[in-house]
Amino acid sequence: MSSPAYPPFNAPPVPKITHERRLVRRYLLQSALRFNAGSLLFVSLAIALLPLGMDIGTPAPGEAGVRKLDPYIVGGVVLAIMAWLALLSSGIARGFLSRLGDQGTALSAESIASTVTRRIDAPFNPYTTFDLCTETLSGLALGTALGYAGPPAFSHDPFKGRIVLGRWRPPVLGRHVEVRVSTELGPSCRIELRSRPGLAWFAIQQGQSLKAAETVCAHLRQHLERHTAVLEAARRERELERTSLQARLSALQAQVEPHFLFNTLANLKYLIRTDQQAAQEMLDHLVGYLQNALPDMRSVSSTLGREMDLASDYLAVMRIRMGERLRFEVAVDDDVRSLPFPPAMLISLVENAVKHGLERASRPGLITVGAQREHKGDGELLCVSVVDDGVGLTEQAGQGTGLANIAERLALLYGRAASLSVEPGGGPGEARGVKAVLAVPVAGKDA
């Protein structure tokens, strides 16, 4: 026989608890009435079935008389049973009050109530909340916490947002917990949890309903908080990825900016020595270009119209340097000028057309810049083309940082949804010129 467990000598004393007298009287009376009501149902049923087991009625020939039930005896037995049940219920109830005092817990109205209600505010829509509640309430962990031998008996109605769980089936016969999820559509919803006694209403309440409600409520809150934490962690991870992406894009774009500016300044330096009037005109175009470009040079977003205007300014500067060797056309419809488009990509394509296409040709050349929408599957692409009739594809074409940066930025921004193609620009049988096409999703986010 094991010795009783004693608290350690240095344990703080348990505070002495005094229960409220009004609640104690109410609890004792409630326990006696409920316990006697449930017991009398069985006693009444037994008395009603008692004549079936006794030979009561008209005596057969030769018998002395008829045996009858004495009402005084029956009444005395019933009174004795009621008195015994009252004493029994009082002992059980006082034992519960004593355990509460030993635990340092005061008697409350909820601890003696047969029905306990809790409410939880969930930060998810009703459909997600109902799925999370179903996942939590049907598990083995909750059944073990409630004292069941396995997972709770479980029934649910997703159309009404109602879940019922208990010890056996049907759950409503015994003590069970009913969970209702509000069906009003919105970003959040409310969960109402109610612990009901079932046939245990006739038993002495010893805090079972309160314990069941608290246990189910704690499991629901824990699961909702865990799911919220997972979503918050995913949101922070996406934000970090987006910040890292913008940093990489800014670094790539910073490589393109001096690439264009250094070439332009080198051209300006050449013209200052050879043609001061042309140099002055080029400087005016360059200042106008920088006034439009510098405010957004570090931005990761732009529009097609702005990039087209910058390409026109650049080509105007280059035409001053190359003279009649360079002609250009920039055509874009008004309905696509406001569409989002990543910055510094079109300038790189135009610069490649000038440097690798027309500067190496011994004849005048034409650069045509255009844009149009194209349907692809379920989406729509914005296709921007730069076509020149220069020397065509060579081994040196596309080996600079321009095209490499464009390809990497497209992969970072759009994945496989965007593309860059460089191919011969002439028709059948012709080998002159290069056609570069940059395709990005119309619905894509800012670069």
Q: State residue 445's pLDDT score.
A: 45
Give the mean pLDDT of the chain. 80
Whether the pLDDT of residue 447 is over 50: the answer is: no
If pLDDT is split at 50, 70 and 90, which confidence band does 2 have?
Answer: very low
| pLDDT of the residue at 35 | 78
Q: Which residues pair with 209 in a beta bridge?
A: none
The percentage of residues in the chain with a pLDDT greater than 70, rounded to a whole number, is: 77
CA distances from 72 to 44, 69, 79, 365, 371 (A): 16, 9, 10, 127, 108
Give residues with Cβ within 8 angstroms of 129, minimum separation 6. 122, 181, 189, 191, 224
pLDDT at 441: 92
CA terminus-to-terminus distance, the chain: 77
pLDDT tens digits for range 214-235: 999 999 999 999 999 999 888 8
Q: How confident is the model at residue 28 (pLDDT cuts 50, 70, 90)?
A: confident
**Neighbour count for residue 426 (Cβ, 10 Å):** 15
pLDDT digit string, tens, across residues 50-61:
665 555 555 555
Min mean pLDDT across 46-55, 91-100, 165-174 is at: 46-55
Instruction: Give the model's pLDDT for residue 405.
Output: 76
Strand order in the sheet with 153-157: 116-122, 189-196, 176-181, 162-166, 153-157
Q: How big is the CA angle at 101 (ends 99 and 102), to the nearest 5 degrees? A: 65
Predicted pLDDT at 81: 73
Q: What is the DSSP string of 146-179?
A: TT-SSSPEEEEETTTTEEEEESSSSGGGSSEEEE
Report the pLDDT value the prediction gives residue 446, as an integer from 0 to 100. 41
Residue whose structure tokens are 């056309």: 329
pLDDT tens digits, one per residue of 258-277: 556 777 787 788 778 887 88
Identify residue 300 by its one-letter amino acid code: V
Q: Between vectors from CA 72 to CA 66 and to CA 78, what angle results, nearest 5°?
A: 115
DSSP-assigned states of every residue in 107-126? --TTTT-S-EEEEEEESS-H
Locate the domains of the chain by residue range: 21-54+68-103, 116-232, 275-441
Q: What are the E-state strand segments in 132-250? A: 153-157, 162-166, 176-181, 189-196
Q: ω into residue 123 within 30 of 0, thus cis? A: no
pLDDT at 193: 94
Task: Specify whether the backbone of 328 is left (phi greater than 0), alpha (psi in -120 to 50) or beta.
Answer: beta
Question: Do 116-232 and 275-441 come out as alike in CATH topology?
Answer: no
pTM for the model stands at: 0.54
CB 119, CB 109: distance < 8 Å: no
- Dihedral-angle region of residue 208 (phi above 0 means left; psi in -120 to 50 means alpha; beta otherwise): alpha
Nearest C-alpha neighbor of 96 from the set 24, 149, 168: 24
Query: For a pLDDT cut of 90, what percent of the chain falls above it?
Result: 23
- Choose the weakest-confidence range: 141-155, 315-329, 391-405: 391-405
CATH fold of the domain at 116-232: Alpha-D-Glucose-1,6-Bisphosphate; Chain A, domain 4 (3.30.530)
Which residue has 């490589």 as its token pair? 255
What span, in angstroms and rounded, lies between the C-alpha atoms of 242 and 236?
10
For domain 275-441, the question of CATH label 3.30.565.10 is answered with yes
Question: Whose CA is closest to 194, among 179, 175, 183, 216?
Answer: 179
| CA-atom Rg of the chain in angstroms | 43
**Closest Cα to residue 338, out of 366, 305, 293?**
305
Measuring CA to CA, which residue among 346, 355, 437 is closest to residue 396?
A: 355
Using a 10 angstrom Cβ sphere, with 0-12 exposed, 13-18 middle and 19 or more buried, the burial of residue 44 is exposed
Q: Residue 91 has what pLDDT?
A: 85
Higher pLDDT, 70 or 104: 104
User: Could you tell me whether strands 434-441 and 379-388 are parallel, antiparallel, or unpaired per DSSP bridges?
Assistant: antiparallel
Closest C-alpha among 93, 81, 95, 5 to residue 43: 81
pLDDT of residue 66: 46
pLDDT of amino acid 220: 94
3-state secondary structure of 421: strand
Residue 353 near residue 390 (C-beta atoms within 8 A): yes
Condensed to tens digits (0 to 9), the pLDDT of residues 187-215 reads 889 999 999 998 888 888 888 999 999 99
Sign, CA torsion 410/415/418/419: positive
Q: Is residue 402 pLDDT above 80, yes or no?
A: no
Query: Which contiguous run of DSSP H or E holds residue 303?
Result: none
The enclosing H or E element of 431 equals none
Averaged over 8-23, what is the pLDDT? 72
